[in-house]
Structure 1
Amino acid sequence: MHIEQNILDKVNEWLTPTFDESTQDAIKEMMTSSPKELEESFYKNLEFGTGGMRGIMGVGTNRINKYTLGKNTQGLSDYMTKSFPGEQLKVAIAYDCRHNSNTLAKVVADVFSANGVHVYLFSDMRTTPELSFAVRHLNCHAGIVLTASHNPPEYNGYKVYWQDGGQLVPPQDGEIIQLIEALNYDEIKFEANENLIEYIDTEVDAAFEKSTVENCSFNTPTSAKENLKIVYTSLHGTSIKSIPSVLTKAGYTDINIVAEQAEPNGNFPTVKSPNPEEPEALTMALALAEKTNADIVIGTDPDSDRLGVAVRNTEGKMVLLNGNQTMVIMTAFLLEQWKRAEKITGTEFIGSTIVSTPMMQELASAYGIECKVGLTGFKWIAKMIKDFPNQKFIGGGEESFGFMVGAAVRDKDAVGATLLVCEIAAQAKAAGSTLYHELLNLYVDHGFYKEHLISLTKKGIDGLKEINQMMIDLRENPVSEIDGQRVVCIEDYDNSTSRNMFSGEIESLNIPKSNVLIYYLEDGSKICARPSGTEPKIKFYFSVNTTLDSVEDAKSVEVELDEKIKNIIAGMNLI
């Protein structure tokens, strides 16, 4: 097959003595046996997306390996040296259960230390929220976690955190990327200064768990905690290091752990995908719930920033809640707790994203506070905390099963969210209700919102072209009517405009640019198109809503909303 010259130039660079023999041997093998794989490995450089940098492990500029991560780390070291002149630089590094995470974490630590940076390296795998916590707890200038979240086993990744414990955001991210791209691979300092690498573990664990219990406990009676039957699975990930301990310290005693999934394992052998967004991932946990007559099932992804929750519906059947539902349940509970404690003054806020349920704005309005909405990715919610120091952050979430309670952790936090959702379930059960019934009550009070997500996977070079073309078509040939409902407004975050489709009036959007389109229909429905920042996918988010007069009407109203979503999808020819 023909390979472009610019790709061959990169390949030839990686065949120089700057790169070790095993790397060169792997490239030579691909040149003869897998030219297509060679092209995929070198046709672009791995990029930072909504959740840091993720990619398939292997050799090449488009792969996760010691050189691509070493280059990132060298660039970050240079940037920190410029940003904090004269200071003893400090970073914290954590890693999850994935293959090579521990060795890649040591490579990153080596490069930092070679640049004079004091490194706090966790001695074993730890959760992403604990890394975010550790950055501030240890007064670090930055933090790194080696993880690819819920991606398949062949992936790994590199997430960068700044002083505030949140992920990199503008302008730092762009400035650092420029430095990284300007570097040559022979400029990476791989020779470690072991005196600058300090291993950390139990002291930070204890501080993180103490903070979590304090921030996510809400005066639940001991008897209510002991009466809640919990099934929990770590899906072979790192949360097994934190969640059982946190729940026990908080007073929960009836915790049934899915034993077959409790051992960390980067192959994730019992699931197709270690993603709690996928119902299949919780199959074993749901089976254990039936066996133990559990009230709630909780599953977390490999680095423990996302959680899936299943509860019993009005018929006593276990159902998996989606991320929007868990988000509104937890947010409403927090708001009510703050109100009862007379802590709401009007200067507080909750956080959400442009692709998440509009019900978050309804909740904020009902309690007289603000709902700040940002781009997809929790880094934007963390940025809100930093940008508005005179407002108190209560909590926030996004549709992709992430939630954050308060400001102690500045990223999605499945450890804290697990304790919070158990508090809600325990209090509901003690009051003769259920967590599901509490959700239906919220729909009666604020409107029944139903969301749905379609992810279309388009791999490789051709897939990227196809995704780009789909977004071009949506922009250049906008749909004017869907399912009999006129499009009233189109928000295009790529050019920061909101267009009224009736009047033609255009307003500016005060949110950073992103390749996202949102259609709003006459009846309040919302459709969002967004290429994923970390996976070869284009995602379509649907939100519809109507009034709910009583809990008893919930089933029939939900059928109507499901039918509306189905008709919208058909009207857009997506399936």
Structure 2
Amino acid sequence: MNIRKEILDQVNIWLSPIFDTATHEALKNMMTTAPAELEESFYKNLEFGTGGMRGVMAVGTNRINKYTLGKNTQGISDYLKTVFPGEDLKVAIAYDCRHNSDTLAKVVADVFSANGIKVFLFSALRPTPELSFALKYLKCHAGIVLTASHNPPEYNGYKVYWQDGGQLVPPQDAEIIKVIEDLTYDQIKFEANEDLIEYIDTAIDKAFIDSSIANASFDTPAAAKKELKIVYTPLHGTSVTVIPDVLAQAGYSDFHIVPEQAEPNGDFPTVKSPNPEEPEALSMAMALANKIDADIVIGTDPDSDRLGVAVRDNHHNMILLNGNQTMVLMTHFLLEQWKKAGKITGKEFVGSTIVSTPMMMELATAYDVECKVGLTGFKWIAKMIKDFPELKFIGGGEESFGFMVGDAVRDKDAVAASLLICELAAQAKAKGSSVYKELLVLYTEYGFYKEYLVSLVRKGIEGAQEIKQTMIDLRENPLKEIAGLRVVMLEDYQSSIAKNLFTDEEETMTIPKSNVLIYYLEDGTKIAARPSGTEPKIKFYVSVNDTLESVADAEAVERMLDAKIQSIITELKIN
């Protein structure tokens, strides 16, 4: 295979004395034995997506390594000095259980300190939401988490948080990226000022745990808490450092950790993917739940921002809820608690995303609060809190198993959400109901909404081109009919145009531009397509709905909705 000149130009930079011997050796080996891998490593710069920057750990501009992360950190250091001139700058840094997360976190800390910036570095792995909390608690200007969330073991990542505790959003993101891109590698300051690096641990843990309990507890009787039998798995990740303490201190004593998955391990040896969205990931927890007859299973991804929940259905079978279901359950529970407390005044809101269930709008309307809808990614929900200080944020979520309770943490937070779902489950059990029965009751009141996600993996350069072409085809040849139903509306978030296909009327949308298309069918079905911002995937989101007259009809209505989803998937050829 011939290596393109532009790739060789980049490789030659990385073979210069700026880079260490190990990098040189790795490059020379790839040039002779793996030229295709070399091209993958250098054909572009690693980019910031919906959840920060993620990539395979290796040498190259399109990889996670000390130089790509060092360049990011140098750029952020320079930017902080420009935006906050004369201030004593402070940053907080956390990292997860992945291979090299601790050493990469120290590299990031070194670069910040070398630039004269005070660093608060967690002394061991911690959940991502604790970093968001710590940043605000310590009054830092920015924060970094070294994590690749639920990606495979060979990945790592770099998430950047701002003063408000939320991830980077416009205009800071583009401004920082410009500063980073203008840097050369010889401008990175790697020599640490150890006097500026302070290690943090138990004091922040206590404050975070206390805050989580305060925000997600709702007067559940002690007896009800003791009656709830919980199975929990951290999926070899960071939540084991916090969630057991949160639930114990909140009064939940019948608590069982999956022993094979309790130890942090960057290889994630017991699962194909450490993603609670995947039923297989929670199979060991569900087996334990069946063995001990538990009421609920909770499982978190490696950095503890996503929460998977399994509960007993009406036949006593343990089933995994999807992210939309857990979101509407927890949102309704919060709304009801706020209503009981007399805290709903018309100046509150809940948050959701454009690819999540429309049922969130129905809930908000019923409780006379606003439902703000943003792009995929919790950074947009955090931005809502900042943009509308006159409104009180109750909670919100997205379909990909993320939820946020209140605004103490400005990112999806599986810690507080774990406690919240246990509060809901304990109160439901105490009154002779269950989480699943509560969901069915919601369907009778607001409509039976059923969602399904199809993720198509397309790796590498060719995969990226295929994903790009799929989106082009959907734009240039928009579907007029799907599964026998006419398309009523097409929203193109890249052009910011919503077009009524019946009248040809167009409306300009105010949500920021993004590579997303959403089709609305005449029966209320919603179909969205978007490339993932963190993985080599294109995702299709299908939402269907119907009325549910009685809980007794739930199984029949669900079968009908499932059949409709499958017909759509088959027609679109995305299965």
Report the TM-score range of the alignment, normalised by the length of the smaller protein.
over 0.9
In 2, the alpha carbon distance for the partners of 1:468 and 1:290 equals 44
| CA deviation after TM superposition for structure 1 residue 4, in Å | 1.9
| Equivalent residue, structure 2, for 1:425 | 425
| CA deviation after TM superposition for structure 1 residue 212, in Å | 0.3
| Equivalent residue, structure 2, for 1:360 | 360
In 1, the alpha carbon distance for the partners of 2:348 and 2:481 equals 38
Number of residue-to-residue matches in the alignment: 575
Code of the aligned partner of 1:506: E
| CA deviation after TM superposition for structure 1 residue 59, in Å | 0.2
| CA deviation after TM superposition for structure 1 residue 7, in Å | 1.1
| Equivalent residue, structure 2, for 1:302 | 302
| CA deviation after TM superposition for structure 1 residue 572, in Å | 1.5
| Equivalent residue, structure 1, for 2:401 | 401
In 1, the alpha carbon distance for the partners of 2:530 and 2:41 equals 25
| Equivalent residue, structure 2, for 1:186 | 186
1:14-413 alignment to 2 at 5 Å?
A: 14-413=14-413
In 2, the alpha carbon distance for the partners of 1:331 and 1:4 equals 52
In 1, the alpha carbon distance for the partners of 2:566 and 2:301 equals 29
| Equivalent residue, structure 1, for 2:558 | 558
In 2, the alpha carbon distance for the partners of 1:570 and 1:310 equals 28
In 1, the alpha carbon distance for the partners of 2:205 and 2:293 equals 32
Code of the aligned partner of 2:95: Y
In 1, the alpha carbon distance for the partners of 2:4 and 2:527 equals 38
In 2, the alpha carbon distance for the partners of 1:63 and 1:44 equals 9
In 1, the alpha carbon distance for the partners of 2:4 and 2:24 equals 20
In 2, the alpha carbon distance for the partners of 1:7 and 1:179 equals 23
Code of the aligned partner of 1:324: N
In 1, the alpha carbon distance for the partners of 2:536 and 2:288 equals 34
| Equivalent residue, structure 1, for 2:8 | 8
Question: TM-score, structure 2 length as denominator?
Answer: 1.00
| Equivalent residue, structure 2, for 1:500 | 500
| CA deviation after TM superposition for structure 1 residue 570, in Å | 1.5
Cα displacement string for residues 67-97 of structure 1 (whole angstroms, at most 9, x for unaligned residues): 0000000000000000000001000000000
In 2, the alpha carbon distance for the partners of 1:473 and 1:570 equals 18
| CA deviation after TM superposition for structure 1 residue 502, in Å | 0.7
Code of the aligned partner of 1:257: I
Cα displacement string for residues 432-473 of structure 1 (whole angstroms, at most 9, x for unaligned residues): 000000000000000000000000000000001000000000
In 2, the alpha carbon distance for the partners of 1:492 and 1:526 equals 13
Code of the aligned partner of 1:9: D
In 1, the alpha carbon distance for the partners of 2:244 and 2:369 equals 34
In 2, the alpha carbon distance for the partners of 1:571 and 1:151 equals 30
| CA deviation after TM superposition for structure 1 residue 3, in Å | 2.1
Give the aligned CA root-mean-square deviation in angstroms.
0.4
Cα displacement string for residues 2-26 of structure 1 (whole angstroms, at most 9, x for unaligned residues): 2221111101100000000100110
Code of the aligned partner of 2:399: E
Code of the aligned partner of 2:474: L
Code of the aligned partner of 2:136: R
Code of the aligned partner of 1:85: P
| CA deviation after TM superposition for structure 1 residue 180, in Å | 0.2
In 1, the alpha carbon distance for the partners of 2:401 and 2:102 equals 26
In 1, the alpha carbon distance for the partners of 2:121 and 2:233 equals 26
Please say if 1:509 is aligned against 2:514: no
| CA deviation after TM superposition for structure 1 residue 243, in Å | 0.2
Code of the aligned partner of 1:220: T
Report SS of the residue matched to 2:191. Answer: coil
| CA deviation after TM superposition for structure 1 residue 269, in Å | 0.4
| CA deviation after TM superposition for structure 1 residue 497, in Å | 0.6
In 2, the alpha carbon distance for the partners of 1:134 and 1:357 equals 31
| Equivalent residue, structure 1, for 2:483 | 483
Code of the aligned partner of 2:19: F
Code of the aligned partner of 1:354: I
In 2, the alpha carbon distance for the partners of 1:236 and 1:416 equals 19
Cα displacement string for residues 229-278 of structure 1 (whole angstroms, at most 9, x for unaligned residues): 00000000000000000000000000000011000000000100100000
In 1, the alpha carbon distance for the partners of 2:176 and 2:559 equals 49
In 2, the alpha carbon distance for the partners of 1:3 and 1:441 equals 61
Code of the aligned partner of 1:117: I
In 2, the alpha carbon distance for the partners of 1:78 and 1:439 equals 50
Cα displacement string for residues 265-305 of structure 1 (whole angstroms, at most 9, x for unaligned residues): 00000100100000000111011101111000000000000
| CA deviation after TM superposition for structure 1 residue 165, in Å | 0.2
Report SS of the residue matched to 1:421. Answer: helix
Code of the aligned partner of 1:76: I
In 2, the alpha carbon distance for the partners of 1:114 and 1:489 equals 53
In 2, the alpha carbon distance for the partners of 1:569 and 1:97 equals 36
| Equivalent residue, structure 1, for 2:530 | 530
1:434-473 alignment to 2 at 5 Å?
A: 434-473=434-473
Code of the aligned partner of 1:348: E
Q: Does 565-574 or 528-537 show the bigger shift?
A: 565-574
Code of the aligned partner of 2:83: S
Code of the aligned partner of 2:176: I
In 1, the alpha carbon distance for the partners of 2:21 and 2:273 equals 34
In 1, the alpha carbon distance for the partners of 2:518 and 2:139 equals 40
Cα displacement string for residues 108-141 of structure 1 (whole angstroms, at most 9, x for unaligned residues): 0000000000000000000000000001000000
Code of the aligned partner of 2:252: Y
In 1, the alpha carbon distance for the partners of 2:560 and 2:3 equals 52
Report SS of the residue matched to 1:449. Answer: strand
Question: TM-score, structure 1 length as denominator?
Answer: 1.00
Code of the aligned partner of 2:249: K
In 1, the alpha carbon distance for the partners of 2:495 and 2:191 equals 44
Report SS of the residue matched to 2:507. Answer: strand
Code of the aligned partner of 2:87: E
In 2, the alpha carbon distance for the partners of 1:3 and 1:358 equals 49
In 2, the alpha carbon distance for the partners of 1:448 and 1:4 equals 54
Report SS of the residue matched to 2:489. Answer: strand
In 2, the alpha carbon distance for the partners of 1:449 and 1:59 equals 46
| CA deviation after TM superposition for structure 1 residue 573, in Å | 2.1
Give unmatched runs, 5+ long, in structure 1: none
Report SS of the residue matched to 1:352. Answer: strand
| CA deviation after TM superposition for structure 1 residue 515, in Å | 0.3
Report SS of the residue matched to 2:539. Answer: strand
Code of the aligned partner of 2:257: I
| CA deviation after TM superposition for structure 1 residue 574, in Å | 1.9
